[in-house]
Amino acid sequence: MPVELSYLQAVILGIVEGLTEFLPISSTGHLTIAEQLLGLPVDDKAVTAYTAIIQVGAIAATFLYFARKIARLFMAWVNGLLTAEKREDPDYTLAWAVIVGSLPVGVVGFLARDVISGALRSLWVVAAALVLWSIVIWVAEQRHDVLEKQGRQRDEHGVTVRDGLVIGLVQCFSLIPGVSRSGATISAGLMRGIDRVTATELSFFMAIPALTAAGLFELARGFDDVVALGVGQMLVGIVVAFGTAYASIAWLLKFVASNSLRPFIWYRVALGVLVAIALSAGWIAAT
């Protein structure tokens, strides 16, 4: 029986996507939970494709919010390719860090696409990942505090291509629902000695190619399924995700400027435990 998606469900999923995409709490995990609570089959191809496609709204929000900086990095990259002297510009290196860091998740995501959209689409996986990756974020924050006291942190002018590669490799873990793409990339940045604001911005920039590729791939692969859910519902989800994602980006950058990620850790652990309890009690199904 074909899955039906109402406009109210589309709005709810759009809000969840926009609010959680850039926070280190896992948008995929929250969308999976929301789908289950809304009575949608979380492992259905149409539903999986829909949640990937509405990420376009979050991508658009990132482009708009960072339009000037993205243009600056792009021009620095182009100028560096054309002129050896321009390669000394820190923006040229930062641009390459983003490019190199964006590649691993695309390759792994494509090769493991069936597992990601199938076996991993379970609330048991989400619950476990929410709790376990919180440990990684905690360790990253501890290291951040040590390096900050020692004055050994680097800002965007000190980011290297190796930093980008390491962050990109760690980003692959975010393909597991519940880990969180931003949680993975920001943690990796902090572990590399990058300050919290710069690590957060890098997370945003690396999200652009990753989310764009995922959205286009799912649109091409599951176009008929998503159309069956409703073109109007898809557009509503994208627009709502855009608005909430823009607000989320602005808030998170202000937050990390003077706060740690520890409040998100407690939230992740509490949610993971709650989901596990609900599953064990039979209140909700895993898929």
Q: What is the pLDDT of residues 122-168, one digit of tens each?
A: 899 999 999 999 999 999 999 999 999 998 899 999 999 999 999 99
Look at residue 89 and tell me if it is in a domain: yes
Task: Give mean pLDDT, residues 81-95.
Answer: 93
Task: Give mean pLDDT, residues 244-259.
Answer: 94
The percentage of the chain sitting over the pLDDT mark of 90, rounded to a whole number, equals 70
- Which residues contact residue 76 at a Cβ distance below 8 angstroms, ignoring those fewer than 6 apart? 86, 89, 91, 92, 94, 95
Cα–Cα distance for residue pair 36/46, rounded to 1 Å: 14
Task: List the one residue out of 56, 2, 40, 4 whose CA is nearest residue 230.
Answer: 4
Q: Number of folded domains in the chain?
A: 1
Please state the φ and ψ torsions of residue 154, each to the nearest 5 degrees: -115, 145
Look at residue 2 and tell me if it is in a domain: no
What per-residue confidence (pLDDT) applies to 4? 82
The whole model's pTM is what? 0.91
Confidence bin at 23 (pLDDT 50/70/90): very high
Domain range enclosing 79? 7-281
Look at residue 287 and tell me if it is in a domain: no
Look at residue 1 and tell me if it is in a domain: no
